[in-house]
Amino acid sequence: MFHKEGHKIILAATFFVGVGILVIDKFIALDWLNKTLAIVLLFFYIIILQFFRNPKRSTTLDNNHIISPVDGKVVVIEEVFEKEYFKDKRLQVSIFMSPLNVHVTRYPVSGKVKFSKYHPGKYLVAWHPKASEENERTTIVIENPVIGNILYRQIAGALAKRIVNYAIPEMQVIQGTDAGFIKFGSRVDLFLPLNTKILVNLNDKVKGGEKIIATLS
């Protein structure tokens, strides 16, 4: 299954690769060069398909749990001052996605969307310390009846040129469902209440929609 945000790109890539293979077959006489170029085109096509895959995930709904919004590797766990929305201290958990990870964003908790804002910006590498404040990004806050308000931030990386965000203020959302997409390499930051217990460690690999990131202390 492929994400809807990739349908046009996959269609264009299919056309490009198909035409490319026909042109190579017609105009490249050297057999080794013909095969090499065809393999390069097919490799490119497989990467596109890999990037836009949208596997089904089994989410166990639980208002005491905050689940990972994305696939990737945990690169930050620390107490920070969140200055855009809360303007106080929060626990930050950041997850880095390589171009090979699934790039679907899923809601980490159920509840009401209290805040949703897009910020244009730079395209620093996603693990850069200033990426959270200077890169293209979206900030979303969800009010959960048990945990309270949590914030997650989709951050574009050096290759990402478009962030898709489905969260609209006052919208009721369900944990684990599709919240958006980030195209080509990125990061997601979670800002959690100080009374939550973090259940992951640095460098852990997490799976969006399934892995529990934190719970109430």
Active site positions, annotated: 186
> Which 3-state string (H, E, C) describes the chain?
CECHHHHHHHHHHHHHHHHHHHHHHHHCCCHHHHHHHHHHHHHHHHHHHHHCECCCCCCCCCCCEEECCCCEEEEEEEEEEECCCCCEEEEEEEEEECCCCCCEEECCCCEEEEEEEEECCECCCCCCCCHHHHECEEEEEEEECCCEEEEEEEEECCCCCCEEECCCCCCEECCCCEEEEECCCEEEEEEECCCEEECCCCCCEECCCCCEEEEEC
